[in-house]
Chain A
């Protein structure tokens, strides 16, 4: 079996349409991971021990189980409790939840890098805990976290083919179906891989630019 340009060209449009789904899942999953991760990181430092402890174990649990199992679990178990979501929504939920436990660590490192003196000076000025977080700590903790978060965006993007397992019509699933119809897998799978390669390389390059800009800004 040799490469057929004509066939490759003909399968490109459906693959690119599926690429849009891949992008949607990556971006929405990332936004969810970025927001949830911040919630985890801040509540892990809550003065209430039960809150901090519960969050610690949630994060440990999610980080220590495979994403694929989490996907299947949400896909098959949520409907039993009356929660019916589209496969794409479940995929986004799983990606966001799974990666939030990694972004939480990124935020935690940023928060811990803020010197205790900043907290003390803020408390001595009688700022409320809310104001200390929003005005003093997070503005200093978040900028260094941005480049690392960007790397997780790329990681999430590369994990999206897992969503094929729960029938999301992203690129891999589409490539498989095209292959199954025509018995030619070489072109659709190659194109799919090439798109991932290209986008990841571009994104890494952009992240490095961002990192450099960040270093110079400080």
Chain B
């Protein structure tokens, strides 16, 4: 176990560019162990990129990234493969478009990584998978194929799949943005339950301001690849200090 003082995620002076476009510039951010943070901001502000860098799905052009103290990047130099895998093992990620494996059943989607990565026995992995499906309310779908599920069900399966590797940190990348409105609630309900019953650290990129307000310990507003303002939800939503934050909030949540 990591010490209390050690953050779950640490970004220091991180710069990320795609060609000429700078997505993150001297970006600093910490996610405390057990903390639940909502990242909000206009599209293109670099929120999702933060999650993707933490999961080592993106290269960066400078800076340091640590996952529970394990460096993924040290002053712009990437960790080797073994260390990257150790860092990734602490993380689970849920994507906007689910990315379930279409050629595998729901159960196999949940058991594949525990069996291959954590070397779990098949029956043990299946048992755990069923328990996770029960938790997201889908135990009757274990033998279904992903294409037979609704969007909300797919996303709940994707959450269960990420949990199956028992991560310490969960990354949620706009997990309700691709859903029909009537399915947003069931997915947020799963997140709420997770937030209330586990001590996992959670980093949530979202456009659901009402949910962010209830769910998060801290809200971080990003714009132009930088943190503009961060604070407890009541403060950031109720009494934003920065003009840019106010403008953004007035656009997304008309009072």
**Residues on A facing B (Cβ under 8 Å):** 115, 117-118, 120-128, 131, 135-136, 139-140
Q: Which residue of chain B is the closest to A123 with respect to CB atoms?
A: B57
Q: Which residue of chain A is the closest to B117 with respect to CB atoms?
A: A126
Given the complex, which residues of B lie within 8 Å of A122, measured CB to CB? 101
B19 part of interface (Cβ distance < 8 Å): no
Residue pair A135, B57 in contact (C-beta under 8 Å): no
**Residues on B facing A (Cβ under 8 Å):** 55-57, 85, 88-89, 91-93, 95, 97, 99-103, 112-113, 116-117, 161-162, 165
**Do A127 and B103 contact each other (CB < 8 Å), given the known contacts A117-B95, A117-B97, A121-B95?**
no
Residue pair A118, B117 in contact (C-beta under 8 Å): no
- Tell me the bound Cα distance from A115 to B112 in angstroms: 19
Residue pair B103, A125 in contact (C-beta under 8 Å): no
- Min C-beta distance of B76 to chain A, whole Å: 19
**Do A136 and B89 contact each other (CB < 8 Å), given the known contacts A123-B57, A125-B165, A127-B113?**
no
**Do A120 and B117 contact each other (CB < 8 Å), given the known contacts A125-B112, A136-B101, A140-B103?**
no
Given the complex, which residues of A lie within 8 Å of B162, measured CB to CB? 124-125
5 contacts between A and B (CB under 8 A): A124-B91, A124-B95, A124-B162, A125-B117, A127-B113
Given the complex, which residues of B lie within 8 Å of A140, measured CB to CB? 102-103
Residue pair A120, B89 in contact (C-beta under 8 Å): no
**Do A126 and B101 contact each other (CB < 8 Å), given the known contacts A117-B95, A120-B57, A120-B95?**
no
- Tell me the bound Cα distance from A122 to B99 in angstroms: 9
Q: Which residue of chain B is the closest to A115 with respect to CB atoms?
A: B99
- Min C-beta distance of B49 to chain A, whole Å: 13
Q: What is the predominant secondary structure among interface residues of chain B facing chain A? A: loop
Residue pair A124, B112 in contact (C-beta under 8 Å): no
- Tell me the bound Cα distance from A79 to B225 in angstroms: 64
Q: Which residue of chain B is the closest to A136 with respect to CB atoms?
A: B101
Residue pair B89, A126 in contact (C-beta under 8 Å): yes
Residue pair B161, A125 in contact (C-beta under 8 Å): yes
**Do A127 and B116 contact each other (CB < 8 Å), given the known contacts A118-B101, A139-B103, A140-B103?**
yes
Q: Which residue of chain B is the closest to A122 with respect to CB atoms?
A: B101
Extra contacts besides A117-B95, A118-B101, A124-B95 (11): CB < 8 Å: A118-B99, A120-B57, A120-B99, A123-B56, A123-B57, A124-B57, A124-B92, A125-B113, A125-B161, A126-B117, A140-B103
- Tell me the bound Cα distance from A122 to B102 in angstroms: 12
Given the complex, which residues of B lie within 8 Å of A120, measured CB to CB? 57, 95, 99
Q: Which residue of chain B is the closest to A121 with respect to CB atoms?
A: B99
Residue pair B117, A117 in contact (C-beta under 8 Å): no
A126, A128, A139: most-surrounded residue (chain B CB, <10 A): A126
Given the complex, which residues of A lie within 8 Å of B93, measured CB to CB? 124
A121, A127, A136: most-surrounded residue (chain B CB, <10 A): A121
- Tell me the bound Cα distance from A126 to B102 in angstroms: 18
Q: Which residue of chain B is the closest to A116 with respect to CB atoms?
A: B99
Given the complex, which residues of A lie within 8 Å of B100, measured CB to CB? 121
Given the complex, which residues of B lie within 8 Å of A128, measured CB to CB? 116
- Tell me the bound Cα distance from A193 to B97 in angstroms: 54
Given the complex, which residues of A lie within 8 Å of B113, measured CB to CB? 125-127
Residue pair A131, B116 in contact (C-beta under 8 Å): yes
Given the complex, which residues of A lie within 8 Å of B112, measured CB to CB? 125, 127, 135
- Tell me the bound Cα distance from A121 to B55 in angstroms: 10
